[in-house]
């Protein structure tokens, strides 16, 4: 076999195709995942199809044929004449006659899922099934394979392609990954030759999770109507005024505001904005802008299926719950140090509503310095192209690592009734794929899944096992006046750091607040701040006392008790339990849980 002619800097995935082709392992390749990106050839960037038909196959394959649902069978290189009349199947049979008589043909099949869809056979047309069968037969045909032919099938998600083709031992599936740090650095370097190497690497690090085409759109103008770089630089310089290093900062801002309107630039670079970070870190403001635009691009790319989580407070802002915050601090330290041996694959936060799960977990993310995204209602929104959207999300998340994936109300997404929603098995396939991704040990220290729920009994048991959710953190309402006072004090500090109060008076006030959740305590505290604002003569404790007398907490004792015992039964370490639960035996916990279930649910 003649090796495909390739550019000097061969991407790793393309090198793999070349090696497997030369070794005779396969002549049919399925290229998947990041197939809509751009790839560097010389001094320019081209799409995948152009890269394959031009640079990769140039010189050794005299004939290149494209097969697509849109254009049928067409010759894009060479002087071969094929019969393009009739159905797709008839055109492919004409192509097969050529393949049997003339060696050295490359077949490129973009959007292959439109020709050979992966749906159940009962939902696929007869012609689509026949096309899939034909490519399957070609991959096994020794005559065709010996004629120096190669077939490159392009699809974003493997699940969208005819599955019998993928199980064929003579078909090799090759993943085109999201750009790694070195690739992103190469793209940044090519797009802005003025950047020094240190800035190239800092920009590339901050752009983790972006495709090369997205980096290009971030750093280049998107058309003749957009402001030119000199125009952007002039506008930004006016906005920055006489701030330190304004000229240099304006030049760098101009490089990453390509395609933005003047109004958008003004909103990002306000003339009245204080930029103290520029003195300590001259790149801080530019990196912040890159992060903001990256967030916009990725949320758009993932079709609203994820959103970025950006916590404001660390664990120091959490009141009480030292047994929990101590555990989370240790995990945060391991993440910051890159100690993958001590980093769990996933965290399960369990406990009754209002116990502070969401706030504490977000504070943990801030403490760990971990970027985070939240999965959004995928069961209800991923319709039709569900699997493809999921693969796009997972590929993006993996490329952004280290990162946390937050799944709130996990029982709704991963409930043990998953897949029974009349969606032809889509939900069960989605959940199975997520489970597979969550248990992939290559993701340890890179992707941390965090699930929150007050009903872990509804979760699929398999999702809670070690290797997916290694640490189960139980959350409870504050047990005593001191802990409740700590929660109130933490709320006061968050909302008004200048306030002062007497700790003993605050503890005395909280003595009678037994059964209040963290959410109740926060609501009562904010009501007290409102009363104090209306009546400045009131002391803070007097205002809180008035709020305490006026506030009506929810009364759901049986359900709360049930959820507390669920949290106790799920926890991975007895040392994480408050004293009232820590000494219970397993039998006592299970007996109490059965009784609480009957009282709360009537069964």
Domain co-membership, 541 together with 434? no
CA distance 592 to 353: 19
Q: Is residue 513 part of a domain?
A: yes
- Parallel, antiparallel, or unpaired for β 447-453 and 371-375? unpaired
Query: What was the pLDDT predicted at 508?
Result: 93
CATH number at residue 70: 3.40.50.300
The verdict on 460 and 527 lying in the same domain is no
111 and 234 share a domain? no
- Among 518, 418, 538, 520, residue whose Cα is nearest residue 478: 518
Is 197 within a domain? Answer: yes
Q: Does residue 519 share a domain with residue 467? A: no
**pLDDT of amino acid 217:** 84
Q: Cis omega before residue 402 (within 30°)?
A: yes
Confidence (pTM): 0.80
| 347 and 434 share one domain | yes
User: Is 252 found in the same domain as 124?
Assistant: no
563-601: string of b/e by CB count within 10 Å (b at 16+)?
A: bbbbbbbbbbeeebbbeebeebeeeebeebbeebbeebe
- pLDDT above 90 for 427: no
pLDDT band at residue 424 using 50, 70 and 90 as cut-offs: low
- Strand pairing class (346-350; 447-453): parallel
- Domain limits at 545? 488-603
Per-residue pLDDT tens digits for 136-163: 999 999 999 888 999 999 999 888 899 8
- Report the 3 state secondary structure along 209-234: CCCHHHHHHHHCCCCCCCCCHHHHHH
Q: What is the pLDDT of residues 336-370, one digit of tens each?
A: 888 878 889 999 999 999 999 999 999 999 999 99
Residue 479 resides in a domain: no
Name the domain boundary from 424, 442, 474: 474
Q: What's the confidence (pLDDT) of residue 423?
A: 54
What is the per-residue pLDDT for 1? 55
Does the residue 374 lie in any domain? yes
Residue 480 lies in a domain: no
DSSP E strand stretches across 156-293: 171-176
Contacts of 376 (CB under 8 A, 6+ apart): 304, 305, 306, 307
| Helix intervals (H) in 302-459 | 322-337, 357-368, 378-381, 386-400, 410-413, 426-438
Mean pLDDT of 294-298: 86
In a domain, 26, yes or no: yes
Q: Which of 120, 143, 176 is the last residue of a domain?
A: 176
For residue 2, is it within any domain?
Answer: no
pLDDT digits (tens, 9 = 90+) for 514-529: 999 999 999 999 999 9
Task: Please tell me the distance from the alpha carbon of residue 482 to that of residue 187, in angstroms, as a whole number.
Answer: 56
Beta partners for residue 175, in sequence order: 32
The predicted pLDDT at position 433 comes to 84
What is the C-alpha to C-alpha distance for residues 225 and 260, in angstroms, rounded to an integer?
10
**Residues 219-265 pLDDT 10s:** 864 444 457 788 888 888 888 877 777 888 788 788 777 767 777 77
Q: What is the pLDDT of residue 251?
A: 82
Q: Which of 451, 474, 497 is the last residue of a domain?
A: 474
> pLDDT averaged over the chain?
86
- In this structure, is the dihedral angle defined by the CA atoms of residues 569, 571, 575 and 580, taken in order, positive or negative? negative
For residue 427, the tally of other CB atoms under 10 A from its CB is: 23
pLDDT on residue 537: 83
Q: Are residues 34 and 131 in the same domain?
A: yes
Residues 223 and 145 placed together within one structural domain of the fold: no
- Taking only the tens place, the pLDDT of each residue in 101-137 is 989 999 999 999 999 998 777 778 888 899 999 999 9
Residues 289 and 312 in one domain: no
- Same-domain status, 225 and 297: yes
Sign of CA dihedral 569, 575, 576, 582: positive
d(CA 210, CA 215): 6
Cα–Cα–Cα angle for 39, 42, 48, rounded to 5 degrees: 25
DSSP letter, residue 72: E
In this prediction, residue 287 has a pLDDT band, given cuts at 50, 70 and 90, of confident
| 119 and 234 share one domain | no
pLDDT at 8 over 60: no
* Between 509 and 284, the higher pLDDT residue: 509
Instruction: Answer yes or no: is pLDDT of 88 > 80.
Output: yes
* 7 falls within a domain: no
Asked if 250 and 323 sit in the same domain, the reply is no
Q: How many domains, in total, are found in the chain?
A: 4
The alpha carbons of the chain give a radius of gyration, in whole angstroms, of 30
Q: CA quadruple 559, 563, 569, 574: dihedral positive or negative? A: negative
């Amino acid at each position: 076999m003649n090796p495909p002619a390739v550019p000097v800097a061969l991407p790793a995935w393309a090198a793999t195709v070349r090696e497997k082709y030369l070794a005779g392992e396969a002549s049919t390749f399925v290229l998947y995942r990041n197939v809509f990106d751009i790839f560097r050839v010389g001094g320019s960037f081209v799409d995948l199809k152009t890269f394959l038909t031009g640079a990769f196959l140039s010189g050794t394959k005299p004939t290149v044929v494209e097969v697509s649902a849109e254009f049928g069978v067409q010759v894009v290189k060479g002087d071969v004449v094929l019969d393009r009349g009739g159905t797709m199947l008839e055109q492919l049979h004409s192509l097969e006659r050529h393949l049997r008589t003339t060696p050295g043909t490359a077949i490129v099949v973009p959007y292959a899922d439109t020709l050979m869809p992966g749906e159940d056979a009962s939902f696929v047309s007869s012609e689509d099934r026949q096309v899939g069968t034909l490519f399957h037969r070609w991959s096994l045909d020794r005559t065709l394979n010996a004629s120096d032919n190669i077939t490159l099938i392009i699809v974003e998600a493997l699940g969208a392609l005819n599955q019998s083709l993928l199980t064929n031992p003579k078909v090799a599936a090759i993943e085109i990954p999201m750009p790694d740090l070195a690739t992103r650095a190469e793209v940044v370097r090519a797009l802005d030759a003025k950047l020094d190497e240190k800035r190239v690497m800092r920009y590339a690090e901050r752009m983790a999770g972006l495709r090369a085409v997205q980096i290009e759109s971030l750093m280049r103008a998107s058309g003749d109507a957009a402001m030119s770089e000199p125009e952007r630089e002039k506008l930004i310089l006016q906005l920055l005024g006489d701030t330190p290093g304004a000229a240099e900062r304006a030049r760098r801002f101009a490089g990453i505001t390509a395609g933005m309107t003047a109004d958008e630039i003004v909103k990002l670079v306000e003339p009245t904005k204080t930029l103290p970070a520029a003195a300590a870190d001259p790149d801080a403001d530019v990196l912040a802008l890159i992060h903001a635009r990256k967030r916009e691009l990725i949320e758009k790319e993932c079709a609203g299926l994820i959103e970025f989580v950006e916590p404001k407070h660390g664990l120091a802002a959490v009141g009480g719950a030292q047994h929990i915050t101590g555990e989370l601090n240790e995990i945060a330290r391991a993440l910051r140090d890159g100690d993958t041996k001590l980093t769990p694959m996933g965290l399960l936060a369990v406990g009754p509503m209002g116990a502070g799960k969401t706030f504490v977990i977000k504070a943990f993310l801030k403490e760990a310095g971990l970027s985070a995204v939240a999965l959004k209602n995928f069961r209800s929104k991923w319709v039709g192209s569900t699997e493809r959207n999921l693969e796009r999300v997972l590929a993006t998340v993996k490329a952004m690592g280290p990162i946390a994936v937050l799944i709130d109300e996990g029982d709704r997404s991963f409930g043990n009734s998953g897949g029974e929603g009349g969606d032809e098995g889509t939900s069960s396939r989605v959940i199975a794929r997520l489970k597979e991704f969550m248990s992939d040990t290559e993701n340890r220290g890179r992707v941390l899944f965090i699930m929150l729920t007050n009903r872990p009994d509804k979760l699929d048991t398999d999702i809670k096992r070690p290797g997916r959710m290694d640490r189960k953190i139980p959350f409870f309402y504050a047990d005593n006046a001191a802990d409740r006072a700590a929660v109130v004090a933490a709320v006061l500090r968050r909302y008004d750091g200048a306030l002062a109060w007497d700790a003993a008076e605050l503890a005395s006030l909280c003595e009678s607040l037994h059964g209040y959740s963290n959410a109740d305590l926060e609501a009562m505290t904010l009501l007290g701040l409102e009363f104090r604002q209306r009546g400045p003569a009131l002391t803070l404790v007097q205002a809180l006392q008035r709020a305490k007398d006026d506030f009506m907490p929810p009364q759901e004792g049986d359900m709360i008790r049930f959820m507390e015992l669920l949290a106790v039964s799920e926890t991975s370490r007895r040392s994480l339990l408050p004293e009232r639960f820590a000494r219970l035996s397993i039998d006592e916990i299970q007996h109490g849980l059965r009784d609480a279930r009957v009282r709360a649910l009537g069964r």
